[in-house]
Structure 1
Amino acid sequence: MKWTIKDRFIAYVARCADGRCSVTDGAQRLDSGEFHFASSANAPATGLPDALELHFQGDVRFAAHGGMMFVRVADPHVSTNKCRGVLSIIADPRADDTRVEIAKFDVSVSRVAGAAGVTVLGRNVRLTAKGALIFGGVYTEGEPLNDFAAHVCLSS
């Protein structure tokens, strides 16, 4: 999964004197600025093209203001049903098994030619009320996030 999360937020953290971003546990920051979350080996992608469960691994953390601002985006999970989807993450480092549905989005799925895989595009990604809380209430429900793309092989 490749996702830049939210350009305005990333730029804000970069402007903070003590702003920092870390990537671990399978996440990478690409030269394009996108964060790459690897497909999870523990939970392979499953489903039919109109109802998918996609699991990714990686931990991206943002901090600033002497620790008063902390945002974690870890182990994204994408669930789709026809043309709509939900994105959930693990946000609290003290509760690694608690997922939060942070966004809803429009989805388009296309098959990868000659392979047992699909490309999933998340468009019109919008924060949920719980997602807004992850960002400290700075953004409100419905605030746009950046679109994302995921290329996965489906298990049978």
Structure 2
Amino acid sequence: MDEPVNRAGLSWGVKGSFTRYIDSMPDGRRGAGYGATDTGHGVYFFELDDASGYDPARRKGLVKYRGDLRYKGHGGMLFVMIVDPWIEFREAGAVLTVIDAEHWPDREHRIELATLVPVGPGADRLPEGWEQWEAQLLPAGVEVFNGVYAIGELLEPVRFSAA
């Protein structure tokens, strides 16, 4: 596990094939900041911002992480921004939301990027307090990636801790 396990946070590789594509381009760039750290091999760690609205016993509420991740290429024609991922636990499951880049720098507008489904037994070994969930792209997430991936496309698993 590449994430710093001595603190709570969210660890995510976003989409491995997309990261490899960016890295293969002569002008491809990716970077992290403002609470997000590149841990290596295309995996990013987002710091825990606020988990006061989350009830872990009932797995309900909101966990906020902070950080800014950006991908660029093709002379600026390709630009993907993932800022402040939050996990919203709802009656019907969990959703990963991010700030809507279309309204940037307004940080109040958010989009639903992916649904999250818990990974059952046999998942990668994780430290105490960490969970791993499968991420599936939602319609707004398809737009983030400029229509390259379809609704339901698997992203990299999301690993997180809120404690």
TM-score normalised by structure 1 residue count: 0.83
Alignment partner, residue 73 of structure 1: 82
Structure-to-structure mapping, 1:13-28, within 5 angstroms? 13-28=22-37
Structure 1, gaps ≥5 residues long: none
Cα distance in 2 between the residues matched to 1:16 and 1:5 = 18
1:4-61 deviation line (CA, Å, top 9, x unaligned): 00000000100111100011101000035310000015x6452233213110000000
Cα distance in 1 between the residues matched to 2:100 and 2:11 = 18
RMSD: 2.2
Distance change (3 Å), C-alpha of 1:45 and 1:14? farther
1:131 equivalenced with 2:141 (yes/no): yes
Is contact 2:16–2:42 with CA below 8 Å preserved after alignment?
Answer: no
Cα distance in 2 between the residues matched to 1:30 and 1:14 = 15
Is contact 1:80–1:107 with CA below 8 Å preserved after alignment?
Answer: no
What percent identity do the matched residue pairs reach? 26
Cα distance in 2 between the residues matched to 1:22 and 1:139 = 22
1:56 equivalenced with 2:103 (yes/no): no
Alignment partner, residue 144 of structure 1: 154
Corresponding residue to 2:21 among 8, 12, 36: 12
Q: Which amino acid aligns with 1:103?
A: A
Alignment partner, residue 47 of structure 1: 55
Q: Which runs of 4+ in 1 moved over 6 A?
A: none
Structure with greater strand share of residues: 1
1:43-99 deviation line (CA, Å, top 9, x unaligned): 645223321311000000001011111000110000123672100001413332211
Cα distance in 1 between the residues matched to 2:93 and 2:132 = 11
Aligned length, in residue pairs: 145
TM-score normalised by structure 2 residue count: 0.80
Cα distance in 1 between the residues matched to 2:118 and 2:90 = 9
Shift of 1:134: 0.4
Structure 2, gaps ≥5 residues long: 1-9, 121-126
Q: Which moved more, 1:25-34 or 1:91-100?
A: 91-100
